[in-house]
């Protein structure tokens, strides 16, 4: 039987909110399901609360609300954080991504998350 985890998009205004909501949806209050993009990708690959057979869906309700909140301003905020702590060799690329986000261009945080779902758990994400 397929397990369905539900995200309430009205409760996701920042990437940190997404980490909280996905953690709670999968593993209950205070639950962990990644708190950075790499960890999230790993969690989607199995063994962190989802069924071992990969038979699950994540239903992201009111995803349009999240899509707007996780748009270019939130992306710029996240890239500013990344720029402050990334390896010096990565700074030019992150700075370019930040410039684009500030200009309202390029992929957003919402896009990053959807792409990870598609790569690591194809077909699992249901945008509602």
pLDDT tens readout for residues 73-87: 999 999 999 999 999
Please give the model's pTM, rounded to 2 decimal places. 0.94
Distance CA 128, CA 126 (A): 6
Q: What is the pLDDT of residues 9-46, one digit of tens each?
A: 999 999 999 999 999 999 999 999 999 999 999 999 87
Q: 22: closest CA among 40, 3, 10?
A: 40
pLDDT for 101-127, tens place per residue? 999 999 999 999 999 999 999 999 999
């Amino acid at each position: 039987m397929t397990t369905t985890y539900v995200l309430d998009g009205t409760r996701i205004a920042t990437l940190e909110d997404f980490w909280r909501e996905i953690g709670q949806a999968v593993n209950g209050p205070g639950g962990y399901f990644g708190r950075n993009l790499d960890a999230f990708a790993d969690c989607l690959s199995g063994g962190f609360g989802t069924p071992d057979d990969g038979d699950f869906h994540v239903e992201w309700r009111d995803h349009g609300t999240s899509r707007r909140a996780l748009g270019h301003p939130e992306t710029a905020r996240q890239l500013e954080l990344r720029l402050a702590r990334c390896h010096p060799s990565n700074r030019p690329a992150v700075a370019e991504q930040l410039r684009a986000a500030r200009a309202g261009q390029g992929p957003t945080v919402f896009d990053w998350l959807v792409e990870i779902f598609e790569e690591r758990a194809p077909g699992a994400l249901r945008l509602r």
